[in-house]
Chains A and B, each alone.
Chain A
Amino acid sequence: MNRDTSQSKKFRPRLSLGPILYYWSRDDVFSFYQGIAEAPVDIVYLGETVCSKRRVVRPDDWLELATMLQQAGKEVVLSSLTLLEANSELSALQKICNNDQFMVEANDMAAVQMMSGRKNYVTGPSVNIYNSRTLDVLAKSGLKRWTLPVELSKETLTSLHHERPDGVETEVFVFGRLPLAYSARCFTARAHNLPKDDCQFRCLDYPDGLMLRTREDESFLVLNGIQTQSAKTHNLVRDIDDFIDLEVDVLRISPQSGNTEQVINIFHDCLNEKMTACDADIELQKYMMTGECDGYWHGQAGMDNTATARASIDKQRGCA
């Protein structure tokens, strides 16, 4: 199924859409996924992963969306909260893990524990799988697919793939602002001088997060409630051949408030050789709000952008 046998034997990764990391209105979430139902994405992750106070989309709503997307032919995965603090959050997590309809993405070891030995599961980028022995332990407990932690490089994934356990798929975060940190403190509430317990749901005002700039006015980080993200968009479209060579099963695109479908289409066309990676890269420039980066994949600082250095090579190849 993963392989395109009609034209060649070439391995072709599938595309996934990660969970919405921001707080959008219920209407916006529903209309977003109506669009996604038609988009050429194979896997859709659904659910709140950042803040348990974000409840305009209720658990039943998520299930309704999940059913709708499944009927549209998508593989649906329910995503779970990343930082668990209150007992109420554990109860909500238990319900998600106990569902018998959909696969669950664990974003914390509590979710892994709840599903260990009971059902198959997926891990998101915040579950720390840095080496083969860790991957083996989790594979034995039911891990079916894991997402490479975003700070790890091509070199590390290459080594991990030499010893990848049978039946375990790999996913890589290839497009979107990077999730970098989680805190007990809500930075969006703090920016409004509000306590977290009375945050007035200010995250609703920032569909792509709240920009944090250095005192030299450089866009640096994005505050998204208790989560901190990169201001730059992580873009690995130029590295698409790496993912084919390494047999990375799934490439993850992270939702943004605008143009997510266009981004999906570009990656889809690129994977289906309707567009070169160079042209895809040029197209994607329009959809990155405050710069781009790809350093992590290349073993550098995450904020680095190797594109500049590689531009001359691309030029020699007759691209760009």
Chain B
Amino acid sequence: MKAGLNKFPELNKTKFENRGKELRLGIPVINSVVIGNSIACGFGDGTIRIFKSGQSSEPIKAHNGIVLCISKDGDDIITGGDDGRFLKISLNGEISEIANFGSRWVDHVTANNGSLVCTSGNIVYLWMPGRKEPKLLEHESTIGGVAFDSKGRRLAVSRYGGVTLWKKDYSNKWKSSNLLWKGSHNKVIFSPDGRYLVTSMQENQLHFWRLKDKIDSAMSGYGAKVKSFAFVHDTKFLVTSGSNDAVCWPFDGNGPEGRQPICLPFVGNKLVTFVEPFPNENAIFTGLSDGSVFLSEIEKSSNTIMIRSFTEFEVTTISVTEDASSILIGDMAGNILWTSIWDEENK
């Protein structure tokens, strides 16, 4: 796939596309991360690009092969690659290597309050603030995902057979407990209030645990693997991909058990491949397998706006700046839209 060969219909573009900047890079977009009002994006050729209002976004060569994962540590970007390197990259593009595992991939990275984490195979490498050497937390099977809670005192590690929950006690020792559910668990997140853990599975379903009483249940009914899910800020919805609708599960009260999700439909019946909450609103951006992206209010689905028209290639990332002024959309073929969300007169 080469840039320029992608069929990009010039007609019927949205106003967001008309006023934004479009790149056709021909390199799969892996994922992106928001740092204040900048957005860093990782690509399938090992480069990252940093998007900031009024600046160009030149490629920074970080990894030899693929940027497998991208996250942030304060104001720095952290990445893992198939070259076995775990890197920290400043917003100025300065790269420093935190660790190198050779031919073993760095599959997941995360950070919280100065603690840095990467995973390779079945091992979590945890650097406590100020420490040069990592602590190794070993698991029985390969790690599917890793997440800190908002305070950084708990670290959830998803794997085959469930989640290992590591807790830091008051003497700063990490102790683990297990949340078990048969099958292979991939991405894991905490709810913003820390009460729930949610994983996506190899099967077309999600699983959640209510941590205070360890009640757990599946969220199923999807037509495809659920690869993207997130809690909508300040509301009690978990929004998920993997269906032709954006499926929003209620997590208020006693959680989603026995309740129906709200399903937001889109024209064309394409698969939802990426979901991203709108900062501080009860609304979400939804990216589909044909490259189109919509903004919808969760409880008023009639209020749906098309942000990006179709490109034929599945949306692989959507990020919104912290001030909710700009959005970045990327797809599997390396088409990027970087645009302002608000009309000039509404700013």
| B partners with A | no
A-to-B contact residues, CB < 8 Å: none
